[in-house]
Chains A and B, each alone.
Chain A
Amino acid sequence: MKHAFNIVRKELDKIFRNPRLIFSTFILPGLLIFVIYSLLGTTLKTQVQKANEHISIIKVINCPESFLAARDLYLSLQENDESYLKLNAEIDEFDLSQKDESTELKDYAARLVEEGQIDALIEFEDDFDDKIETFLEAFLNKEQATAPKITIYTDTTINNSSVALSKINVLLGLMNSTKMAEIGNPQSIYSNETVELASEEETSGQMIGMLLPMLITIFVFAGGMSVGADAIAGEKERGTISTLLMAPISKSYIVVGKIISTIIITVLSSLGSFIGVIASFPNAKELFGEVGMISFGFVQYLQIFTVILLIALISTSFFLIASTIAKSTKEATMYATPVYMIAMVTSYIPIFTDKLPKEIGSYLIPIYNLILGIKGILLSDLKTLHFVAIVGSTLVYAILLLSLVRVLFKSEKLMFQK
């Protein structure tokens, strides 16, 4: 046992006698988790707060008294019991006079929801309350009758609209149960249809739009990390870097050679992961939800491929810096981990946000801009200017990072340290 402890002591000394390793092994992970969870928590809290505080603008066509009564009932219930969530909804008659005769109601509603002028639209049949009475009478007389119809227009890819829909459903449920209590029958007194205002591409893109940026980022970063970390630190560790530095070639060529080879391996490795994920879609519905098929055009495929290349470029640039600073591949991997974790967290952001930001600034933030790019392409919603901003800014960042690698290459201490 004495010998085992001798080994234990040597292994522990390896870490505890190296301040850099103490920091990266014990302090950094905790620090990162603290920062990441705090950031995620704050983002989520702001999102929830924003959704709760937002006063839903619900417009109604042929608003029946019973619906308003349901709203008032809810408000009085909420007043007496604080466990009820605030309704925070403005329910008004919809002004149809602004609508063009030629425009379909659905398209018109879609535009208003998209612009944020309204959050949802409900259309009740004419004389809805009277029709309910007739329906109830027929029911009591055991005669056949059709329940009056309600149509709800919402866009579930927009947070505010989807929150408004749940509020409407609560009120309709309340309205139904009040009436049901009158006749003592658990049957629905109306037929209800929810019309999705978002296009099929948008709704199926919504799911993939949340999922894919995360998967792509993880695959590309994970695929490139070991190769990138090894690119220079590995040569130092194996003592082959001096052989390479003796070659009569500019150090820029060495950096460019390393980056191109790392990108190729990264892209190929992430491609393998992708094929795995796509192949698993039919068997993994519980995991990913129903993923709709999106038909992409050539330009979209080209854009996606460009963004993947850019992610590989930027991740490789970061990894090469870590690899140049480190003495060994293991050390390089440790230095690269924070960048990997930041990328992972950033890739989760699209899950908490619905639409793409409009201002160009967001498309200039490194890594985040690429994740927005993938989401935008999947939602068929990415503006050309934004795509150009993503490509341009990422290239500039990569050039800056790689110039730094070149400067680091000149450091005798970094290249020949033991």
Chain B
Amino acid sequence: MDATIKVTNLRKTFRQSAKQMKINHSKDKIKVAVDGISFETFPGEIFGLLGPNGAGKTTTLRCVATLIRPDSGDIKVKGIDISDDLAVKKTIAFLTNEIRLEDQMTPNYAFDYYARFHEMPQELIRERRKELFDYFGINDFSEVKIGDLSTGMKQKVSIVVSLAHDPDVIIFDEPTNGLDILTAKSVTDYLKELALKGKTVVISTHIMGLVEKLCDRVGIIINGKMVMCDTVKNVRAISPTNDLEDVFFDIYQKGGLAE
């Protein structure tokens, strides 16, 4: 099976300001955010990037989403190199809590506005809007300004808007962050449904439980390096307790010692 995302030796550094150097207790002007990460994802699977805050998960996903450029390494999405960023953007949806919609727009307006960038015919836009609004229960709020919606409803609208063009690859940075338990469940259920439809779903998270419940495979990132990448089942099996959390802390402590 062809990989939908193929990341090879990805490296990304950032220049640190004097202030950041002080905060990070570092004398290096360059901070290595991602250090030679490689992984692949396939259709119909949910792949999780697991790691603590600042490990390099978001940076990796932003590189895949073409929002930032890697220093070195290759990334291909459905065989398209990320240098062709417009073609890549057509095939993916990228979601994060930072991706927000204008408060004064209504869900209807926002959906149409962003869908038009994908050159979708009006008829198709209407169909997709109906389908997604029905699924997420947005219909009653379709003409309410986004600024007046609850956090959960805002997140649902963001998801719906980014899925307007029915992409094959869905990248979701910290999908359940800041969501109440009901909204979080509806989001994870939908991600499962997308995978069942043959889409590739990639999430990043620091929540072990989410990986265990949702993901088929997991890549553990610590300090910008991919320290393990396998099926959740295989990773769990490493620990005598068959517990992902134990495996993670074990690796983390070893990684810490190695540092």
Contacts and interface: CB of A to CB of B under 8 A. Distances in A.
Interface of A: 238-240, 242-243, 245-250, 412-413, 416
B86 A416 contact: no
B143 interface: no
Interface of B: 15, 65, 67-69, 86-87, 89-90, 94, 96, 98-103, 114, 117-118, 158, 161-162
Contacts of B117: 247-249
B102 A246 contact: no
B contact face: mostly helix, strand, loop, or mixed: loop
A240 B110 CA distance: 11
Contacts of A243: 99-101, 114, 158, 161-162
Contacts of A248: 86-87, 89-90, 117-118
A242 B114 contact: no
Contacts of B67: 242, 245-246, 412, 416
Contacts of B65: 246
A247 B66 CA distance: 11
A413 B161 CA distance: 26
B118 A240 contact: no
B204 to A, nearest CB: 15
Nearest to B147: A238
Nearest to B103: A238
B215 to A, nearest CB: 23
16 contacts: A238-B100, A238-B102, A239-B99, A240-B101, A240-B102, A243-B158, A243-B162, A246-B162, A247-B118, A248-B86, A248-B117, A248-B118, A249-B117, A412-B68, A413-B15, A416-B68
B89 A247 contact: yes
Given A243-B100, A247-B89, 20 more contacts: A238-B102, A239-B99, A240-B99, A240-B100, A240-B101, A240-B102, A242-B96, A242-B98, A243-B101, A243-B161, A246-B65, A246-B89, A246-B99, A247-B114, A247-B118, A248-B87, A248-B89, A249-B86, A412-B68, A412-B69
A240 B100 CA distance: 5
Contacts of B15: 413
A240 B96 CA distance: 11
Nearest to B85: A248
